Amino acid sequence: MLLAGFDAGQTKTRCRISRWQESHWELVGDGYGPGVSHLASADGVDRFREAIRCSSAEAMRLHPEITLDGAVMGASGIEQGSIVQEQATDLLSETLSLPRPHVLATGDERTALRGAFPNHAGIVLVSGTGMICLGRTDQGLEHRCGGWGWLLDGAGSAFDIGHQGLQLSLQMADGRKPDHPLRNQIWTALDCTTSAAVKARVVQPNFGAAGFAALAPLVASAAEAEMDEARCILKRSALALATSLTTVAQKLQLESPDLVGHGGALEHLDGFSRLVKTAVKTVLPSSRWITASGDACHGALVMAQELMVKQH
């Protein structure tokens, strides 16, 4: 079987095409395309199609004659069992000219989980611009905490850290908190010199969650430099992630779960990963952090292979 696995984020989409034969994967090609946005947004459908088309075409560039048998796409913003999932799966089927039962579009957290833990229980924690925590038992039962979008539920994400840092800078500016070089660093990053300018900047259409998240490294650096308020922000965020992990473990009755961490906040913010692991050790002492078996594209391929088995 020749299968495609997609990992579609807001900035880029990756497609991996592999052949499943005799219980192992044989790589055919990798390709990249543009990112996706929510299907309900103004250009959501067009961006979704383009992401599929461009990334799969590049993955097939050395083998243009091949024909896919099935595909799974993990994409940002697709909720399990939703109308959006049905629409996305239809688009995947149409764009790749594959029968509807041979394809599935789902949330990228689910493909990340299956990539990390293809055949056994575990929990994936993702903290990037947003956050989400998803776990799975050996029997395939899943539970999820967080990931409901930055306007509703971003605790533990880079968005939340940057947002809290920006709030702190305004409190410094009007005297509620002592001033600190962090305020000037944040305002310089925003090209602002007054609180009024900051207020106007964050309501611009192109700011959003990513605009707040871009400020998180400044907060993390201030925390590493022993700024108490910045350290408090990072500790609150770390505790929020640990709480999500603990909740998933309890709901799934995983007493000693394996954990995998993904996302820019965990991987690139100075000291944040250490704070998260310290918080998790306190509330979930029997857990252990491991290296993922594979990435989200591999998880999508595993799900595609299972999907095809069900058809036969």
Residues 105 and 90 in one domain: yes
Query: What is the rounded distance in angstroms from the CA atom of residue 83 to the CA atom of residue 260?
Result: 29
Amino acid occupying residue 48:
F
pLDDT at 277: 96
CATH of residue 269: 3.30.420.40
pLDDT at 201: 97
pLDDT at 42: 83
Contact 266, 127 (CB under 8 A): yes
Residues 88 and 209 in one domain: no
pLDDT at 298: 96
Mean residue pLDDT of the chain comes to 94
Kindly tell me if the per-residue pLDDT of 123 is higher than 90: yes
Residues 80 and 170 in one domain: no
Contact 1, 292 (CB under 8 A): no
Query: Is residue 126 domain-resident?
Result: no
Query: Is residue 67 domain-resident?
Result: yes
Return the structure tokens found at 159. 């968005």
Query: Is residue 137 domain-resident?
Result: no
Return the structure tokens found at 272. 């944040």
In 3D space, the residue among 125, 151, 131, 156 whose CA is nearest the CA of residue 260 turns out to be: 125
pLDDT at 288: 96
Q: How confident is the model at residue 51 (pLDDT cuts 50, 70, 90)?
A: very high
Kindly tell me if the per-residue pLDDT of 118 is higher than 90: yes
Amino acid occupying residue 174:
D
pLDDT at 28: 94
pLDDT at 64: 86
Return the structure tokens found at 207. 């700011």
Instruction: Return the exposure string of 286-303: e unless at least 16 CB atoms fall within 10 Å of the residue's CB, then b.
Output: ebeeeebbbbbbbbbbbb
pLDDT at 202: 97
pLDDT digits (tens, 9 = 90+) for 54-70: 999 999 998 888 899 99
pLDDT digits (tens, 9 = 90+) for 185-229: 999 999 999 999 999 999 998 898 889 999 999 999 999 999 999
pLDDT at 296: 95
Residues 93 and 6 in one domain: yes
For residues 101, 107, 108, 111, the Cα torsion angle rounded to the nearest 10 degrees is: -50
* Number of domains forming the structure of the chain: 2
Give percent of the chain above pLDDT 70. Answer: 100
Antiparallel, parallel or unpaired: β 122-127 and 2-8: unpaired
CA angle (153, 247, 264) in 5-degree steps: 50
Query: Is residue 77 domain-resident?
Result: yes
- As beta bridge partners, residue 105 has 73
pLDDT digits (tens, 9 = 90+) for 175-184: 999 999 999 9
Cβ-proximal residues to 115 (8 Å cutoff; 6+ apart), any chain = 292, 293, 294, 295, 296, 297, 298, 299, 300, 302
In 3D space, the residue among 52, 68, 57, 56 whose CA is nearest the CA of residue 19 turns out to be: 68
Query: What is the rounded distance in angstroms from the CA atom of residue 228 to the CA atom of residue 77?
Result: 35
Residue-number span of the structural domain to which 55 is assigned: 2-118+293-310
In 3D space, the residue among 145, 136, 142 whose CA is nearest the CA of residue 293 turns out to be: 136
Measured in residues, the chain has a length of: 312
Kindly tell me if the per-residue pLDDT of 312 is higher than 80: no
Q: Rounded to two decimals, what is the model's pTM?
A: 0.89
pLDDT at 311: 79
Mean pLDDT of all residues in 249-259: 97
Mean pLDDT of all residues in 221-250: 97
Residues 36 and 106 in one domain: yes
